[in-house]
Amino acid sequence: MGRLNSSQLQHLLTVDPTGILYQIVKSHQEAINNLGSQTNAQPVGSTQAPPQISRITATPKGGGVHQVTIFDNNPVQRGIRYFAEYSADPNFSTFSVVAMSTSRQIDVPAGTGDLFWRAYSQYPTSPPSLPVYHGGTIPVAVNSTGATASAAAGIPGTGSGTDQNLQPQGGSGFGINPDRSPKLPL
């Protein structure tokens, strides 16, 4: 983790021989580094994306419900979040985002029909990890038959986080960029 480390801190002792200014700046530096450590935000530089998750499975439960399970035993920091996406298209040209928060398992009422699934992780202050597909490197469809109507053929997803609504990009989680600007019309 990039830490705030003022190279000129010792010089403050020559400017203020009492050491008060040195102690003030040093305590601020320590507080900033502690805050960065607690929130997994880099005080200096950028937060790295978490490692790619190991795998995802999507299990049909009937009635259009899929149980999505993420397997991730990588070393990670506090604050990691997981996201799943599903699509009727293996290329995910249209998709819906499921924010799983810190949980690695969720039941999703995604509807009936063939659906493709992928998942990734992200820290609030980092880029997302690379997605992993149900079925491995080649996405495999999961069919959950049941009495509900198909949700997969519904309205295309609008992305998530700071992603643009008009041109959503899958695998964005909290967003690729720290902000969304300029403001675009809905």
Nearest to 84 by CA among 54, 64, 104, 114: 104
Q: Of 46, 43, 41, whose CA–CA distance to 3 is shortest? A: 43
Task: State the Cα–Cα distance between residues 88 and 111, nearest whole angstrom.
Answer: 11
What pLDDT was estimated at residue 139? Answer: 86
Q: What is the pLDDT of residue 165?
A: 54
Q: What average pLDDT does range 26-53 have in this prediction?
A: 82
Amino acid at 73: N
Q: Higher-confidence residue: 53 or 149?
A: 53
Q: If you average pLDDT over each of 2-11, 23-32, 96-105, 137-146, which comes out highest?
A: 96-105
Count of CB atoms within 10 A of residue 115's CB?
A: 26
Confidence of residue 30 (pLDDT cuts 50, 70, 90): confident
Which residues make Cβ contacts (< 8 Å) with residue 45, sequence separation at least 6?
2
Instruction: Set out the domains of the chain in order of their start, with CATH numbers.
Output: 1-45 (no CATH), 55-143 (2.60.40.10)
Length of the chain: 186
**What pLDDT score was predicted for residue 156?**
56
| pTM > 0.75: yes or no | no
Can you tell me the distance from the alpha carbon of 119 to that of 80, in angstroms, rounded to the nearest whole number?
Answer: 13
pLDDT digits (tens, 9 = 90+) for 74-88: 888 878 899 999 999
Secondary structure of residue 70 in the 3-state scheme: strand
pLDDT value at position 176? Answer: 66
Where would I find the H helices in the chain?
12-15, 20-39
Asked whether residue 107 carries a pLDDT value surpassing 70, the answer given is: yes
Residue 164 has pLDDT above 60, yes or no: no
Q: Which amino acid is at 66?
A: H
Cα–Cα distance, 17 to 38 (Å, whole number) = 33
Phi, psi dihedral angles at 67 (to 5 degrees): -95, 120
